[in-house]
Structure 1
Amino acid sequence: MKLFHPYLYLLISLSITSISVSKYAKTGCNDTCGNNVTIPYPFGIGADCSVNPWYIVDCNSSRPYLSALNHLEILRVDLHNQTIIVSTPRISDCQNPVEKTSQLMSIDLDRTPFLFCSYHNRFVFDGCGNAVMMENGSALTGCSTSCLSENVTEINNYCFGFSCCQTTVPHFLKLYSINIAGLGRDGGCAYAFLLDEDSYLKQTFSVQSVAANNAYVPMSLMWTFPHNATLSCCRGASDHMNMELDTGNGTFVESQKCSRHIGYKGNPYLYDGCEVIEDCASCPDSSCNYDIIYGGDGSSTKVTNFTCRPNVSPTGFGSKSSMGVILGVSLSVGVLFLIANIYALYKWIKKVKERRQRKRFFKRNGGLLLKQQEEADPSLVGKTILFTSHELEKATDNFNENRILGRGGQGTVYKGMLVDGRIVAIKKSKVVDESQLEQFINEVVILSQVNHRNVVKLFGCCLETDVPSLVSEFIPNGTLYDRLHKGIDGSPISLNMRLQIATEVSGALAYLHSATSIPIYHRDIKTTNILLDEKYRAKVSDFGTSRFVSVEQTHLTTLVKGTFGYLDPEYFQSSQFTEKSDVYSFGVVLVELLTRERPISQTRFGEHRSLATHFMLAMEEGRAMSIFDAMVIKEGTRDELLVVASLAMRCLNLNGRYRPTMKEVATELEAIRMSHIPSTVQTNTGPMTYEKNQSFTTYTETSSKMLSLNDSFSQ
Structure 2
Amino acid sequence: MLRFQGKAVMLPDPSCLKKCGDVDIVFPFGIGADCAMEGFNLDCNKTVDGSSHITYYHNAPLMNISLLHGQVRMKNYIQYRCSNHSNGNIIDGSWYLQLSDTPFTFSEHLNMFTVFGVNTLAYMIDSINVLGCLAQSWPYNNLSARDGFCNGVGCCQVALTRNMSYYDVDFSERYKSWISMNGTNRSTTEDAEYCGYAVMIEAAAFEFRTTYLNTTVFWKENAGRVPLILNWVVGNETCEIAKEKAASYACVSNNSMCIDSTNGPGYLCNCTEGYHGNPYLPDGCQDIDECAVNVPRPCPGYCTNTPGNFSCPDQKPPSSSRSGTVLLVVGPSIGVVIAVIAITCTYLIRERKKLADIKQKYFQQHGGLLLLREISLKQGTAFSIFTEADLTEATDKFDDKNILGRGGHGTVYRGVLKDDSLIAIKRCVSMTNEQRKKEFGKEMLILSQINHKNIVKLLGCCLEVEVPMLVYEFIPNGTLFQFIHGDNGCHNIPFTTRLRIALESAQALAYLHSWASPPILHGDVKSSNILLDENYAVKVSDFGASILAPTDKSQFMTVVQGTCGYLDPEYMQTCQLTDKSDVYSFGVVLLELLTGKMAFNLEGPEDERILSLRFLNAIKEDKLMDVVDDRIKIDTDTGLLEEIAELARQCLEIVGERRPAMKDVAEKLDRLSKIMQHPWVAAQPDPEEMESLLGESSVPSLEMIGTANFSMEKRIRGLCKG
Range of TM-score over shorter length: 0.3 to 0.5
Per the normalisation by structure 1, the TM-score is 0.46
TM-score, L = length of structure 2 = 0.46
